[in-house]
Amino acid sequence: MAVYALPEHEFIQVDGADARKFLQGQVSCNVDLLSETRSLPGAVCNLKGRVIADFRLVQFGDSCLMQTARGMAGKIIDTLSRYAVFSKVELRRIEPPLVLGILGGGFEAALSRLFPMPPAVVNESAASNQMCLLRLPGKRQELWCLDETAISPLRELLGEWRSGPGREWLAAEIEAGVVHIGPACSEQYTPQLLNYDISGVINFSKGCYTGQEVVARMHFRGKPKKRMFLFSGEAEFAEDSHISDQAGTDSKRGEPVLAYVNRGKGGNIALAVANIEAVAEGRPCFLDSRADAPLRATPLSYECVVAGGD
């Protein structure tokens, strides 16, 4: 078992008599399915059906907590506040004192005193003593500590944790096909390009929400030409890396890398959008149009959500 302190997220607390009803009309997930034992991945879209931000929604007591990427809490609040005028709802940023990522087995026994029934299936959650334990794709768990006083008991149960997510954590997230939208790529991608339509982020059986008409039309009437794939190779990825289908100085820049981790020995991996037909036909692709940096593209598969609704 490896435990990491995760500093790269921001949080929003949603309160009020109309909180759930309001969110149901604004976000891509079916908020009616939210409970103290089930969290929901979701997205906020603009009117053109492009993703403003993604999030994970958790019910904690009477509040809804939204976890999003660094730099996106303010944008989500600004976006949702435009529609909150006639609703009894309050959105505010909060800063949990500690968020831990847990990778590997053994956590159930370590946390049995706090969580006798820990989440066993993707998207399940459990609450205890000012803490939330979540089961995430990629055989990962997150523990949200919402009060300073809960940190000391956690140290007794889990020992010291590592600073930062670590390569193993990032690799597990990337291999699970999970990508988060930050300020640099907000409102640039449709949900289909990011595989949100097949990973459970978009619920197609719920009612209307902002951007729903465009998203549904693309899903039911269109056929995507591009999707997100897992890329791997020996060359190292960087923040400004791009993946193209041609090599050479005259080649087009290609699609930007959305997430990556370098592990060496051919184990460097990244997520990026690519042409579905090109990948199916096995056409070559290259990192930054370099002939000496070929990449392998692999389609992504996704774990099913917990039972109890779409």
pLDDT in tens, 224-277: 899 999 999 999 999 999 999 888 877 788 999 999 999 988 789 999 999 999
Report the pLDDT value the prediction gives residue 193, as an integer from 0 to 100. Answer: 97
Report the pLDDT value the prediction gives residue 201, as an integer from 0 to 100. Answer: 96
Report the pLDDT value the prediction gives residue 150, as an integer from 0 to 100. Answer: 87
Residues of the chain with pLDDT under 50: 307-309
Report the pLDDT value the prediction gives residue 310, as an integer from 0 to 100. Answer: 58
Query: What residues does CATH 2.40.30.160 cover in the chain?
Result: 183-298
Report the pLDDT value the prediction gives residue 187, as an integer from 0 to 100. Answer: 98
Half-sphere exposure of 106 (CA within 13 A, CB side): 9
Rounded to whole angstroms, how far apart are CA atoms 130 and 110?
17
Report the pLDDT value the prediction gives residue 59, as an integer from 0 to 100. Answer: 96
CATH of domain 2-163: 3.30.1360.120
Report the pLDDT value the prediction gives residue 309, as an integer from 0 to 100. Answer: 47
Report the pLDDT value the prediction gives residue 266, as an integer from 0 to 100. Answer: 76
Report the pLDDT value the prediction gives residue 308, as an integer from 0 to 100. Answer: 40
Topology (CATH) of 183-298: Elongation Factor Tu (Ef-tu); domain 3 (2.40.30)
Nearest to 83 by CA among 141, 8, 24: 24
Q: What is the 3-state secondary structure (H, E, C) of the chain?
A: CEEEECCCEEEEEEECCCHHHHHHCCECCCHHHCECCECEEEEEECCCCCEEEEEEEEEECCEEEEEEECCCHHHHHHHHHCCCCCCCCEEEEECCCEEEEEECCCHHHHCCCCCCCCCCCCCEEEEECCEEEEEECCCEEEEEECCHHHHHHHHHHHCCCEECCHHHHHHHHHHCCCCCCCHHHCCCCCCCCCCCCCCCCCCCCCCCCCCHHHHHHHHHHCCCCEEEEEEEECCCCCCCCEEECCCCCCCCCCEECCEEECCCCCCEEEEEEEEHHHHHCCCCEEECCCCCCEEEEECCCCCCCCCCCC
Report the pLDDT value the prediction gives residue 221, as an integer from 0 to 100. Answer: 85
